[in-house]
């Protein structure tokens, strides 16, 4: 195979994978702090995409304005989900919260169907032309500006998240809550607020991923979150559910493997890989790629 | 003799329900109602099989439709390509689903519950994608068409009424067999695992073994339901076994309540009837299921009939009724749920 095509596919794979990584980071952020799985994350992503779609369509064809509004909207949505599914059910078994998030995800998909209709929508090209849609050539390899934007935003967000978690006071508090929320509470941390903040951050990552994918492929439909959410979820499991670097690496691996599977003629089964990875990791290395020795015990389980 | 009489009287409500359900299709002339009743029957079996895991053992399976789908495809394949008679194919569908259940349960049940939950979800997705893309075997999204109607030892089942009695018989078989299972050592072991796994292990219950057995059994029942579905609708396609189908089952348990045999039956019946009554919102029936999941979990976590045991007394089998512990029993310490 041509080495240039190989490189272009690699870039495609990384672009795809970085979006999985963003979503998986959201899952990991939420599970890491609350020790609870949310299944509404894919739908948060979908809502983020639609918010971006409406901003570009109605307000102003600017990619970054769309990102900003989607960030705010999904942060609010995340807080709402946290209150509904976790805040009221803090003492309930894990399964209860899980079922509520499943219910919320069903509700969100159907609400989106009511609002935007079940059909696939796209942004008109007249609007897209106002945004940068060129491509540059580096040594015979074509990379579009859009791809670079997607990659740039992803890398920027990951860096911001890294600084937030590791270098700031808020990050320290989040880490303390993640380690042992009861001890953190005893030390005077407002645990409920921290749970909400963690959930909001996770949801914002999902919302950004939604805008990125929505504009990248220019396809918006109510069920767009389903498969993406589940794939990102398996990426997060592969990464170890609590490890942020693990989520990024797993997301990238899944994106690259998927893209190359299309190139090598297994396009029908490309959606399968993430779930196979997840099952394999669960079987042989349940701690995740970089997982620690101890099994992660879900709280209240 | 008086004892038997008394116990029969105690079962009178159940016997009355069975009698009414047996006579109902003879009174109803509208074929459409009978069809709805048949679907309720299918979902009762599915909800009961999921209840075995979610309600009795306290594991959370969120990909149960996978075994339903495996049963449906296996049965269709066994009848159409292997040429097996229907009763054998139905049994075979259950066994195939059970084997897959074993393959999923064996490795994941060593770990804590959440891992099995994730594996069931992943398995459901994998199955859906395989069914949709393995063109040569499953005919992809087009599905398998013209599945022959069942014939049991030469007796062909063709009219809706005959279908109704077949599913009626299967539902009765499921309920009675589950009742028997749950009141023997096996069932009590499952409940003990749900209540306190450590204590169960300490009293000599091989928890992993029982969990795997329960999982295989649940998959088997789901496979049977799938087989019936395939031969009733005469058409199977991957869309019928997407994770939404699993979520519908979860909503049924959440609504009716789990951990006993009455809750799933009520949940399945009500949640099938609701979208049929409100025809205008047929398109948004998932909205109903999602709403029920959220509201029930927030308002009444144990479901409509959950949290207690509705004992079905079977004097023909039991000398005396053995009690089954349920959550909130006065002999059990109050936990914080």
Convert chain B into a string of H (helix), E (strand) and C (coil). CHHHHHHHHHCHHHHHHHHHHHHHHHHCCCHHHHHHHHHHHHHHHHHHHHHHHHHHHCCCCCCCHHHHHHHHHHHHHHHHCCCCCHHHHHHHHHHHHHHHHHHHHHHHCCCCHHHHHHHHHHHHHHHHHHHHHCHHHHCHHHCECCCCCCEECCEECCCHHHHHHHHHHHHHHHHHHHHHHHCCHHHHHHHHHHHCHHHHHHCCCCHHHHHHHHHHHHHHHHHHHHHHHHHHHCCECHHHHCHHHHHHHHHHHHHHCCCCCHHHHHHHHHHHHHHHHCHHHHHHHHHHHHHHHHHHHHHCCCCCCCCCCCCCCCCCCCCCCCCCCCCCCCCCCCCCC
pLDDT above 50 (res A190): yes
HSE-CB at B52 with a 13 A cutoff on CA atoms is 31
Structure token digits, residue B262: 């009455």
Q: Which of B122, B125, B298 comes nearest A88 by C-beta? A: B298
Q: How far apart are CA A175 and CA B300, in angstroms?
A: 33
Q: Which of A100, A268, A271 comes nearest B298 by C-beta? A: A100
Q: Is A28 on the interface with B (CB under 8 A)?
A: no
Tell how strand A141-144 and strand B155-156 pair up. unpaired
Q: Is A92 on the interface with B (CB under 8 A)?
A: yes
- The DSSP symbol for A268 reads G
Phi, psi (deg, nearest 5) at residue B151: -135, 130
pLDDT tens column, B69-107 = 999 999 999 999 888 889 999 999 999 999 999 998 888
pLDDT above 50 (res A182): yes
Predicted confidence at residue B327, as pLDDT, reads 55
Predicted confidence at residue A1, as pLDDT, reads 57
- Name the burial class of residue A174, with classes exposed (0-12), middle (13-18) and buried (19+) by CB atoms within 10 angstroms of its CB: buried
Sole residue written with tokens 């009455």? B262
Q: Which of B130, B135, B301 comes nearest A96 by C-beta? A: B301
- The DSSP symbol for A299 reads T
Q: What percent of chain A lies above the pLDDT cut of 70? A: 89
Cα separations in angstroms, B41 against B44, B73, B226: 5, 19, 12
Q: How far apart are CA B174 and CA B62, in angstroms?
A: 21
pLDDT above 80 (res B186): yes
Q: Is B203 on the interface with A (CB under 8 A)?
A: no
Tell me which of A99, A105, A239 to substitute to probe the interface with B (most B C-beta atoms closer than 10 Å): A99
B107–A283 CB contact, under 8 Å? yes
Distance, in angstroms, between B302 CA and closest chain A CA? 10
**pLDDT top residue among B280 and A49:** A49
A293-297 average pLDDT score: 42
pLDDT tens column, A245-293 = 888 899 999 999 888 887 776 667 778 888 888 888 877 777 777 765 4
Name all contacts of A279-285 with Cβ < 8 Å and 24+ positions apart.
A279/B119, A279/B122, A279/B123, A279/B126, A281/A237, A281/A238, A282/A237, A282/B107, A282/B108, A282/B111, A282/B115, A282/B118, A282/B119, A282/B122, A283/B107, A283/B108
Residues A85 and A101 sit within 8 Å (Cβ to Cβ):
yes
CB neighbour burial string for A82-91, b if at least 16 within 10 angstroms, e if fewer: bebbbeebee
Looking at beta carbons, which residues of chain B come within 8 Å of A286? 111, 115
- Name the burial class of residue B261, with classes exposed (0-12), middle (13-18) and buried (19+) by CB atoms within 10 angstroms of its CB: buried
Q: How far apart are CA B59 and CA B117, in angstroms?
A: 8
Looking at beta carbons, which residues of chain A come within 8 Å of B306? none
Alpha helices by DSSP H, listed for chain A, are 3-34, 41-54, 63-81, 94-116, 125-130, 145-167, 169-179, 181-186, 191-217, 224-239, 244-263, 272-284
Distance, in angstroms, between B257 CA and closest chain A CA? 12
Predicted confidence at residue A294, as pLDDT, reads 41
B112–A268 CB contact, under 8 Å? no
Helix axes A94-116, B243-256, angle to 10 degrees: 120
Report chain B's terminal Cα–Cα distance, integer Å: 43
A98–B60 CB contact, under 8 Å? yes
Phi, psi (deg, nearest 5) at residue A297: -100, 125
pLDDT above 70 (res B317): no
pLDDT above 90 (res B167): yes
pTM score, whole prediction: 0.86
Structure token digits, residue A282: 């669960």
Q: How far apart are CA B154 and CA B172, in angstroms?
A: 23
Predicted confidence at residue A298, as pLDDT, reads 38
Cα separations in angstroms, A149 against A156, A253, A256, A259: 10, 20, 18, 19
Q: How far apart are CA A52 and CA A62, in angstroms?
A: 10
Residue B314: pLDDT band with limits 50, 70, 90: low
Q: Which of A94, A95, A275 comes nearest B125 by C-beta? A: A275
pLDDT tens column, A211-224 = 988 888 888 888 88
Looking at beta carbons, which residues of chain A come within 8 Å of B111? 282, 286, 295
Structure token digits, residue A9: 């596919």
Q: Is B57 on the interface with A (CB under 8 A)?
A: no
Predicted confidence at residue B310, as pLDDT, reads 65
Q: Which of A114, A272, A298 comes nearest B114 by C-beta? A: A298
Predicted confidence at residue B278, as pLDDT, reads 78
Sole residue written with tokens 């078994």? A93
Phi, psi (deg, nearest 5) at residue B155: -95, 110
Residue B50: pLDDT band with limits 50, 70, 90: very high
Q: How many CB pairs under 8 A join A and B?
A: 120
Structure token digits, residue B318: 């039991």
Chain A (221-280) residues lying within 8 Å, Cβ to Cβ, of chain B = 230, 233-234, 237, 268-269, 271-272, 275-276, 278-279
B141: nearest CA in chain A? A268
Distance, in angstroms, between A245 CA and closest chain B CA? 21
Q: What percent of chain A lies above the pLDDT cut of 90? A: 17
pLDDT above 70 (res B142): yes
Q: Which residues on adjacent β-strands are paired with residue A135?
A: A144
pLDDT, chain B, mean: 84
A225-248 average pLDDT score: 85
Q: Which of B113, B126, B294 comes nearest A100 by C-beta? A: B294
């Amino acid at each position: 195979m041509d080495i240039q095509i190989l490189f272009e596919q690699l870039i495609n794979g990384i672009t795809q994978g970085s979006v999985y990584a963003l979503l998986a980071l959201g899952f990991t952020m939420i599970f890491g702090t609350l020790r609870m799985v949310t299944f509404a994350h894919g739908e948060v992503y979908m809502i983020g995409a639609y918010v971006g779609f409406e901003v570009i369509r109605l307000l102003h064809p600017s990619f970054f304005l769309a990102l900003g509004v989607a960030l705010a909207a999904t942060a609010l949505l995340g807080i709402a989900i946290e209150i509904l599914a976790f805040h009221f059910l803090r003492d309930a078994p894990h399964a209860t919260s899980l079922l509520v998030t499943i219910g919320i995800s069903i509700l969100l998909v159907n609400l989106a169907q009511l609002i935007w209709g079940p059909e696939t929508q796209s942004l008109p090209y007249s609007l897209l032309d106002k945004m940068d849609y060129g491509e540059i050539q580096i040594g015979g390899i074509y990379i579009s500006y859009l791809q670079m934007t997607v990659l740039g935003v992803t890398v920027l967000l990951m860096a911001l998240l890294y600084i937030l978690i590791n270098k700031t006071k808020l990050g320290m508090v989040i880490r303390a809550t993640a380690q042992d929320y009861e001890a953190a509470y005893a030390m005077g941390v407002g645990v409920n607020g921290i749970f909400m903040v963690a959930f909001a951050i996770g949801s914002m990552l999902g919302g950004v991923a939604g805008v990125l994918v929505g504009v990248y492929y220019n396809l918006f439909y109510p069920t767009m979150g389903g498969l993406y959410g589940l794939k990102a979820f398996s990426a997060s499991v592969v990464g170890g559910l609590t490890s942020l670097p693990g989520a990024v690496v797993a997301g990238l691996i899944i994106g690259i493997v998927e893209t190359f599977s299309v190139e090598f003629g297994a396009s029908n089964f490309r959606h399968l890989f993430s779930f196979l990875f997840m099952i394999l990791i669960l079987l042989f290395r349940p701690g995740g790629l970089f997982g620690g020795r101890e099994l992660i015990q879900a709280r209240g389980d | 003799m008086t004892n038997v009489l008394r116990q029969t009287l105690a079962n009178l409500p159940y016997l009355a329900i069975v009698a009414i359900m047996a006579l109902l299709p003879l009174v109803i002339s509208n074929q459409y109602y009978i069809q709805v009743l048949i679907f309720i029957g299918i979902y009762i079996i599915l909800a009961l099989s999921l209840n075995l895991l979610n309600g009795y053992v306290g594991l959370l399976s969120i990909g149960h439709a996978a075994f339903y789908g495996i049963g449906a495809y296996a049965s269709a394949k066994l009848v159409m390509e292997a040429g097996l008679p229907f009763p054998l194919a139905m049994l075979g569908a259950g066994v195939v689903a059970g084997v897959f259940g074993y393959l999923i349960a064996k490795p994941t049940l060593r770990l804590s519950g959440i891992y099995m939950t994730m594996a069931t979800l992943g398995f459901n997705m994998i199955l859906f994608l395989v069914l949709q893309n393995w063109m040569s075997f499953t005919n992809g999204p087009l599905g398998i068409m013209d599945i022959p109607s069942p014939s049991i030892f030469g007796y062909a089942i063709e009219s809706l009424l005959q279908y109704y009695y077949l599913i009626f018989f299967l539902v009765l078989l499921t309920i009675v067999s589950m009742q028997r299972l749950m009141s023997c050592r096996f069932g009590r072991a499952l409940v003990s695992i749900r209540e306190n796994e450590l204590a169960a292990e300490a009293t000599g219950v091989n928890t992993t073994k029982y969990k795997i057995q329960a999982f295989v059994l649940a998959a088997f029942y789901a496979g049977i339901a799938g087989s019936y579905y395939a031969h009733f609708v005469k058409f199977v396609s991957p869309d019928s076994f997407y994770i939404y189908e699993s979520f519908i089952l979860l909503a049924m348990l959440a609504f009716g309540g789990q951990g006993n045999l009455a809750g799933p039956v009520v949940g399945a019946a009500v949640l099938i009837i609701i979208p049929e009554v409100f025809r205008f919102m047929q398109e948004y029936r998932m909205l109903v299921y999602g709403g029920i999941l959220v509201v029930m979990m927030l308002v009444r976590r144990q479901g409509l009939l959950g949290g207690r045991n509705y004992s079905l007394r079977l004097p023909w089998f039991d000398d005396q009724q053995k009690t089954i512990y349920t959550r909130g029993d006065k002999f059990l310490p109050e936990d914080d749920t």
